Amino acid sequence: MSDRTLYDKVWERHRVRELPNGQDQLFIGTHLIHEVTSPQPFAELRERGINVAFPERNVATTDHIIPTDPETRDDRPLADDSAEQMLSALEQNTEEAGITFYGLNSDRQGIAHVMGPDVGATQPGTTIVCGDSHTATHGAFGAVAFGIGTSQVRDVLASGCVAADKSDVRRVEVTGELPDGTVAKDVILRIIGDLGVDGGVGYAYEYGGPTIARMAMEGRMAVCNMSIEGGARVGYINPDETTYEYLRGREFVPEGQEFDERKTYWESVGSDDDAVYDDVVEVDVDGLAPMVTWGTTPGQVAPVDEPVPAPADLPADEREAAAAAQDHTQVTPGEPIAGHPIDVAFIGTCTNGRASDFRQAAAVVEDREVADDVRALAVPGSTTVKRTLEEEGVDRVFRDAGWEWREAGCSMCLAMNDDALRGDERCASSSNRNYVGRQGSKDGRTFLMSPAMVAAAAVEGAVADVREFDTGGALR
Amino acid sequence: MTVEAPDAPDDLRVTRVAGTGVAVRGDDVDTDQIIPARFLKSTTWEGLDEYAFYDNRRDDDGEITGDHPFDRPEHQGASVLVVNENFGCGSSREHAPRALRRWGVEAIVGESFAEIFADNCKSLGMVAAEAAPGVVAELQDLVEDDPEAGLEVDVAEERAVYGGNEVDVHIDEAMREALIQGVWDTTTLMRDALDETREVARDLPYVEEVE
Ligand code: SF4
């Protein structure tokens, strides 16, 4: 048979057996663990008298609850009691089970979905799960990766497997030349805007086509990362030379002849040329403009220079939600969102917290002061990313312009630490969710955009069009 | 290879949920609304019921307004939640269905569900049943107009029953079988196959050592 997708091939190789309810028992090659969704499963295993089945297939880190303020970062116990409890539980659980843990002081610590690729634990042809919905990020490498719930975390720890149903596969064919000033984030926001926030339910998304083929790994990760915002639990990209070269030399990746052998496997899992898809959609990015969300779901999005739609102009079933969303965000329908004031600028997260995201933003940040009254936070996605940027001097560019340069973590993406919106602050954010209350204040307002667009907003104190900034060609 | 269902104790089998209903209206109700992230900071599952729809139930001073369906006296004790499209989208937090469960919800009928949310319901032995928009509208009107009205979700027959009416609902096959057979807790079930799992692992070029 030679008409199979990567998804089919990887699934088949990891399938252990069929369960009584018709689901497949699927072996999990890599399980990523963090402090928020792991304390209960470890405790439940202990209660049931079960040990961790494949400790060497697990990698743990801490990301959601830790402080990112360099001043307090190393203070133990953590100032927040419940955060301290979660972190110590993870330290103890991983120690007992013999699981690799990149803790607070590790130079490998980071958001799970940044750390995995950093160390090369994320590889093509593997199955990857994590108790976190943005696990599809790892699909950028040609892995079948998806988020799981806490009971399923218990399943993986106890059995090395999850019970899962195979989805249909939709090929998302991306064509066209990305215009200057637009990046992967704009592509995925556009896809979600087109296909809807629940358009991907029941599907695994295979992103492909010339635009994706030209994209660097960081961009591919940003695209796969937000699959879940489009309803798809799995999003992936077939591995190619870009993937293999990115992996070469990373800690978890073998070297020399073993690398070549591993590569042969990686090459074998890609979708066949005549692979059969359950659905195919085309997205043409020619003429794409930087995208900004105007509402309270990632699908409520428009090009920065086009008018925000009036609810009455939307399909009947979207009007009520759009009106409620605009009431919350206070944008003006009929006018472009450019110019809408912001109070906070935030660059980071598992979507856009990688080195190239900060480098792109730095082209805007450099020699341009953060506007008065704007709080600007740069939070690298991992300690590896942070050190890389510091070696390049990128941190200085941010600091000199008035940005806070933070330690790695999830930070203001969901505000489980001290980094949160206050009151009804408006935030230009490189994160992935603009749900009401997401950034820690129920009245806070989030506008999703690319890192360079966040940087432009920080300078203007309002949503701005990055294409109007001279960036010396850095955003080409 | 297929395994036979183990004999599950009867109290794990979920074949029907009967009680009264409560409606939460709106599409794309996300997990940050169902339970805000700040309440995830715990190493146990205690106290979650207080946090269900926490912000939606409160005013600017943090006082419960009493307007939310979960606070209306007539809906206390309801066990069937009726919702609209793409319910539970967003994060993978199992705290979301657990918070609803602790409040009293045993079955949810909705136009559609986010996948991870539905999976999490299954892990808890909680029913997530899909119904056509018209059916959902009818059920939501029913539970609002007549909160005392009995509402039953029959898992095996895939139908909702109220006031002598029967309407079709759809329950994903894997969920339905898991509920009916009482095998929604898959931990022990899958661990029983450790040997076969090791064989699969050994065949994978990237898995280096398997004891
Ligand atoms: S950065 Fe945000 S979306 Fe990503 S794992 Fe952390 S909290 Fe979740």
Using a CB-CB cut-off of 8 Å, the residues of chain B touching A265 are: 205-206
Q: Calculate how far, in angstroms, residue A410's C-alpha sits from the geometric centre of ligand 1.
A: 5
Where residue A209 falls (left for φ over 0; alpha for ψ -120 to 50; beta otherwise) is left
Largest Cα–Cα separation, chain A? 63
Residue B8 has pLDDT above 80, yes or no: no
pLDDT at B164 exceeding the cut of 60 = yes
Residue in chain A nearest B190 by alpha carbon:
A159
Task: Say if the Cβ atoms of B197 and A201 lie within 8 Å.
Answer: no
* Cα separation, A409 vs B49, whole angstroms: 29
Whether B191 has a pLDDT exceeding 70, the answer reads: yes
Q: Is there a single domain that holds both residue A95 and residue A230?
A: no
- On whether both A299 and A436 belong to a single domain, the answer is yes
pLDDT bracket for residue B211 (50, 70, 90): low
**Cβ atoms of B122 and B174 closer than 8 Å:** yes
Protein residue whose Cα sits closest to atom 4 of ligand 1: A350
Asked if A243 and A392 sit in the same domain, the reply is: no
Q: In sequence order, what DSSP letters do the residues of A390-452 get, joined into one string?
A: HHHTHHHHHHHTT-EE--SS-GGGTTSSS----TT-EEEESSS---TTTTS-TT-EEEE--HH
**Last residue of a domain, which of A164, A199, A231?**
A164
Which ipTM score applies to this complex?
Answer: 0.94
Is any Cβ of chain A less than 8 angstroms from the Cβ of B116? Answer: yes
**Strand arrangement, sheet containing B21-23:** B21-23, B80-83, B107-110, B127-130
Residues A208 and A339 in one domain: no
Q: Is the CB of A64 under 6 A from ligand 1?
A: yes
Q: For residue A309, which of A193, A416, A226 has the smallest C-alpha distance? A: A193
Pick the residue from chain B with its C-alpha nearest to A231.
B114
From A450, A449, A452, select the one nearest A471 (Cα to Cα).
Answer: A452
Cβ separation B86–A198 shorter than 8 A = yes
The C-alpha atoms of residue A237 and residue A6 are separated, in whole angstroms, by: 9
Report the residue of A9, A12, A18, A19 to disrupt the B interface, i.e. the one with the largest count of B CBs within 10 Å.
Answer: A19
Please identify every stretch of chain A with a pLDDT value under 70, giving residue numbers as ranges.
1
Q: Is A201 helix (H, G, I), strand (E, B) or coil?
A: coil
Same-domain pairing of A229 and A245:
yes
Cβ A349 under 6 angstroms from ligand 1: yes
pLDDT digits (tens, 9 = 90+) for B109-121: 999 999 999 999 9
Query: Is the Cβ pair A37, B93 closer than 8 Å?
Result: yes
CATH number of the domain residue A61 falls in: 3.30.499.10
Compute, in angstroms, the gap from residue A172 CA to the centroid of ligand 1: 24
Q: How far apart are CA B188 and CA A86, in angstroms?
A: 26
| pLDDT, position B163 | 86
Look up residue A192 and give its two tokens.
């979600």
**Residue A358 within a domain:** yes
Determine the pLDDT at residue B182.
94
- pLDDT(B60) > 50: yes
- In the reported structure, the alpha carbon of residue A417 is separated from the centroid of ligand 1 by a whole-number distance in angstroms of 12
Asked whether residue A474 is assigned to any structural domain, the reply reads no
CA–CA gap between residue A410 and residue A346 (Å, rounded): 11
| B180, HSE (Cβ side, Cα atoms, 13 Å) | 16
Asked if residues A325 and A450 have their Cβ atoms less than 8 Å apart, the reply is: no
Q: Give the N- to C-terminal CA distance of chain A in Å, as an integer.
A: 41
CB contacts < 8 A, A to B, total 219
**Closest by Cβ to A163, choosing from B6, B176, B190:** B190
Q: Is A475 inside any structural domain?
A: no
**Last residue in a domain, options A164, A188, A212:** A164
C-alpha to C-alpha distance for A57 and A129, rounded to whole angstroms: 11
Statement to judge: residues A12 and A151 lie in one domain: yes
Ligand 1 touching residue A410 (CB < 6 A): yes
Scanning A35-127, the segments in alpha helix (DSSP H) are: 39-48, 81-97, 112-119
Using a CB-CB cut-off of 8 Å, the residues of chain B touching A233 are 115-116
Q: Distance between CA atoms of A412 and A349, rounded to whole angstroms?
A: 8
Question: Do A158 and A151 meet the contact criterion of CB atoms below 8 Å apart?
Answer: no
β-bridge partners, A168? A203
Residues A26 and A142 in one domain: yes
Tens-place pLDDT, residues A454-473:
999 999 999 999 999 988 87
Same structural domain for residues A51 and A179? no
Q: To the nearest whole angstrom, how far is the Cα of A475 from the nearest Cα of chain B?
A: 30
Residue B4 one-letter amino acid = E
Which chain A residue's Cα is nearest to B122?
A: A151
The reply to whether A307 falls in a domain is: yes
E strands in A44-155:
58-61, 100-102, 127-130, 144-147
C-beta of A413 in contact with ligand 1 (< 6 A): yes
**Assigned domain for A476 exists:** no
* Nearest residue to A398 (alpha-carbon basis) of A469, A319, A451, A438: A451
Q: Do A21 and B178 touch (CB under 8 A)?
A: yes
Cis amide bond preceding A77, omega within 30: yes
In a domain, A347, yes or no: yes
Distance in angstroms between the alpha carbons of the first and the last residue of chain B: 23
A343 min Cα distance to partner chain B (Å)? 20
Nearest CB among B1, B92, B207 relative to A148 is that of B92
| CATH number for A265 | 3.40.1060.10
In chain A, what residues touch B44 (CB-CB under 8 Å)?
A: 39-40, 43
Of A101, A132, A164, the residue at which a domain comes to its end is: A164
By most ligand atoms within 8 Å of CB, the mutation choice from A33, A146, A407, A431 for ligand 1 is A431
Find the closest chain B residue to A417 by CA distance.
Answer: B38
Domains of chain B and CATH, by start: 10-202 (3.20.19.10)
Question: Average pLDDT over chain B, rounded to whole?
Answer: 93
Q: pLDDT-derived band of residue B1, with 50, 70 and 90 as boundaries?
A: very low
Concatenated DSSP letters for A309-345?
PPGGGS-HHHHHHHHHHHHHH---TTSBSTT-B-SEE
List all residues 6 or more positions away from B56 whose beta carbon is below 8 Å from its beta carbon.
B33, B68
Residue A420 phi/psi, 5° resolution? -150, 155
Of A71, A29, A24, A90, nearest to A54 by C-alpha is: A29
Q: Is residue A473 part of a domain?
A: no
Is the CB of residue A408 below 6 angstroms from any atom belonging to ligand 1?
no
Residues 141 to 200 of B: which have CB under 8 A from any A CB? 172-178, 181, 183, 185-191, 193-194, 196-197, 200
State in Å: Cα B122 to ligand 1 middle.
24
Indicate whether A397 and A351 sit together in one domain: yes
Whether residue A420 is found in the same domain as residue A453 = yes
Distance of CA A293 to the CA centre of its chain: 17
User: Residue A68 has which token pair?
Assistant: 């990112």
Domain assignment present for residue A433? The answer is yes
Q: Give yes or no for B204 touching A (CB within 8 A).
A: yes
What range defines the domain where residue A154 resides? 6-164
Q: State whether B190 and A159 contact (CB < 8 Å).
A: yes
Q: Which of A414, A431, A435 to mutate to test the pocket of ligand 1 (most atoms within 8 A of CB)?
A: A414
A15 and A107 inside one domain: yes
CA of B210 to the centre of ligand 1 (A): 32
Query: What is the three-class DSSP state of A20?
Result: coil
Q: What does DSSP say about strands A144-147 and A127-130: parallel, antiparallel, or unpaired? A: parallel
A349 CA to middle of ligand 1, Å? 6
Q: Indicate the number of domains in chain A.
A: 3
Return the bridge partners of A58, or none: A31
Name the one residue in this structure whose structure tokens are 């056509």. Answer: B132
Please indicate, yes or no, whether residues A265 and A366 belong to a single structural domain of this protein. no
Residue B31 has φ and ψ, to the nearest 5°, of -70, -20
